[in-house]
Amino acid sequence: MKITFRDGQTHEAELVAGRTLLSYLQELGIPIDASCGGDGKCGQCLVEVKAPPGALSEPTEAEKKFIRGKDQRLACQARILKTEEPIYVNVPERVYYVLESGEYRWIPIEPFVHREADRVFYNSSYIGDYTGALYGVALDIGTTTLASYLIDLETGAVVRKSSRENPQTKYGNNVISRIEFAKTGQEILVNEVRTAVNDMIASMTDGRNEAVYELVAVGNPVMRNLFFDLPVQSLGKAPYEPESTEPVLKMARELKLAMNTEARVYGLPLIGSFVGADALAVVLATEMYIGREICMAIDVGTNTEMVLGNRERLIATSAAAGPAFEGASISCGTGGVEGAIKEVRIGADGKVEYETIGGAPPVGICGSGLIDALAELLEHRIIDGRGKFRGDEKELRLTRDIKLLETDIDQLNLAKTAVAVGIRVLLDKYGIDFDDIDTIYLAGGFVNFTKTENAIRIGLLPPIARERMKKVGNAALEGARQALISRRKRKDAEEVAKQIEHIKLEEEQDFMEKFVTELYFQNYLD
């Protein structure tokens, strides 16, 4: 008998006793977020199931926390018991709102790929005849999303953009779960991301893939290495370092990428541990390595990367914030999809108002909405400095079905604390305080869509004047663009990567003391 999945298309497979619904979704290539790797902890793989009585295992205690409707199940927990009658599964379509653009900075155009009359060269090597266009691709490989530019290598202009959810999310939405899956399934992860990138290239070029002569990729160490099919296992065990931090240069045909047969694929170098090519690209794009002013760049995400300094000295670290601010591990959390609650306000009368992405009916609450909700709860003193509700009500109800629990606040507090400790450690190692920072660059989609004042209010971002904070969009992608169109910028990146000092938070003597201190919402202590 068959099991049928519908996600805008129809997919069928044979029913096999003992299999989970998630295993089918992964096998059939149906997009689904399984942030926790299938442990029933994140609640992101909710589906609607029509099945005869007894055909599926009973809901586990883990999934009861996330189920909001009688037909809902977590795909990772629902297991096939009977195969005599068909089962039908509706998978919600997930259209992520991805920040595609950075702040473009004009730089001289001096790419590695150029043409002389009708002949195209990479450096001095002839690689083909000119066919009417000379394209390159800048690619940011995020843990959750992929974003890319199609670049005219003769003008440096962005011709097209493309973005989508990273298809690897169905195997876990954080770097640790990807490393774990890669122990036996690295080939699957590699194929998933490369297939998605090929689709993006095809859509941007309208099928003229042969006109793409180079691709520059950035990402955290796990994402970059999986794209190039390089080892990631060393990042999953002490001392948690990549086998190599060097830049990567491959031929597109080696990676089975749908580009010109002579196209090169370049990966920026890594900095160390979980501070990767994406953080280096942010440093490149903001040019904080050139000026005398002390600046800080923060890219908040599951793996939050931070760099502090100037032309004299740069130091960097990463904080395992976890996926809470991306909606995972939150009872009614969701990613930045249509219908996600993105803004929350609590009136003087206690009434909750909200706005959703796309103005669609609410399906859950995403990161920016979570920060708003937490800030409003603190501002109205509905919760105390420990994040506990003061009154008899132990939840904030946003809609009939969507609410924020104390356990959710605990998860958000841990994520906030991890980032705050990372910032504090860098300041102490540099020997400065907040007042000594000239500019804080806020990079990436998460902080771009978040109200800065609320992020400061809950302690996620440092308490400095708003005018000294600058949102720079997808600066990692802009850094990749610069490395694509400028030999000098690429050389700068390779030199700067060797100069950045990498700090491991867990090795700092007073790390736990700082962590415990930051666990409190300081302005709201009784």
Q: Are residues 129 and 267 in the same domain?
A: yes
Q: Are residues 336 and 395 in the same domain?
A: yes
Last residue within a domain, chosen from 29, 57, 90? 90
Q: How far apart are CA 492 and CA 490, in angstroms?
A: 5
Q: How far apart are CA 374 and CA 324, in angstroms?
A: 13
In this prediction, residue 46 carries a pLDDT of: 84
Q: Are residues 83 and 118 in the same domain?
A: no
Q: How far apart are CA 56 and CA 76, in angstroms?
A: 12
Q: How far apart are CA 162 and CA 385, in angstroms?
A: 42
Tell whether 420 is covered by a domain: no
Instruction: Report yes or no: 181 and 22 within 8 Å, Cβ to Cβ.
Output: no
Q: How many domains does the chain contain in total?
A: 3
Q: What is the CATH number of the domain that holds 74?
A: 3.10.20.30
In this prediction, residue 323 carries a pLDDT of: 75
- pLDDT by residue, tens only, the chain of 526 residues: 889 988 777 888 999 999 999 998 888 878 777 766 678 877 778 888 999 999 999 989 888 877 877 788 999 999 999 899 999 998 876 655 555 556 677 899 999 999 999 999 999 999 989 989 999 999 999 988 899 999 999 999 999 999 888 999 888 878 888 999 999 999 999 999 999 999 999 999 998 999 999 999 999 999 999 999 999 999 999 999 999 999 999 999 999 999 999 999 999 999 999 999 999 999 999 999 999 999 999 998 878 999 999 999 999 999 988 778 877 788 888 877 788 999 999 998 889 999 998 898 898 999 899 999 999 999 999 999 999 999 888 999 999 889 999 999 999 999 999 999 999 999 999 999 999 999 999 998 777 788 999 999 999 998 889 899 999 989 999 999 999 999 999 999 999 999 999 999 988 888 888 889 888 887 665 5
- Other C-beta atoms within 10 Å of 388: how many? 11
Task: Quickly tell me which residue has 């240069």 as its tokens.
Answer: 249
Last residue within a domain, chosen from 362, 377, 403? 403
Instruction: Report yes or no: 414 and 370 within 8 Å, Cβ to Cβ.
Output: no
Q: Which two tokens stand for residue 438?
A: 């000239």
Tell whether 106 is covered by a domain: no
Q: Are residues 187 and 273 in the same domain?
A: yes
Q: What is the CATH number of the domain that holds 121?
A: 3.30.420.480
Tell whether 305 is covered by a domain: no
Last residue within a domain, chosen from 287, 321, 355? 287
Contacts of 256 (CB under 8 A, 6+ apart): 194
Q: Are residues 258 and 361 in the same domain?
A: no
Q: Are residues 54 and 142 in the same domain?
A: no
In this prediction, residue 63 carries a pLDDT of: 84
Q: Which two tokens stand for residue 49?
A: 């199931």
In this prediction, residue 79 carries a pLDDT of: 94
Tell whether 479 is covered by a domain: no
In this prediction, residue 356 carries a pLDDT of: 93
Q: Which two tokens stand for residue 132?
A: 């009417």
Q: Are residues 211 and 353 in the same domain?
A: no
pTM: 0.83
In this prediction, residue 290 carries a pLDDT of: 96
Q: Are residues 22 and 161 in the same domain?
A: no
Q: Which structural domain, as residue segments, surrounds residue 79?
A: 2-90
Tell whether 246 is covered by a domain: yes
Q: Are residues 31 and 121 in the same domain?
A: no
In this prediction, residue 99 carries a pLDDT of: 53
Instruction: Report yes or no: 516 and 299 within 8 Å, Cβ to Cβ.
Output: no
Q: Are residues 218 and 353 in the same domain?
A: no
Q: Are residues 26 and 74 in the same domain?
A: yes
Q: How far apart are CA 460 and CA 455, in angstroms?
A: 5
Q: Are residues 138 and 72 in the same domain?
A: no
At residue 292, the 3 state secondary structure works out as: coil
Query: Residues 504, 509, 511, 513: what is their CA dihedral angle, to the nearest 10 degrees?
Result: 180
In this prediction, residue 35 carries a pLDDT of: 60
Instruction: Report yes or no: 153 and 136 within 8 Å, Cβ to Cβ.
Output: yes
Tell whether 148 is covered by a domain: yes
Tell whether 63 is covered by a domain: yes
Tell whether 496 is covered by a domain: no
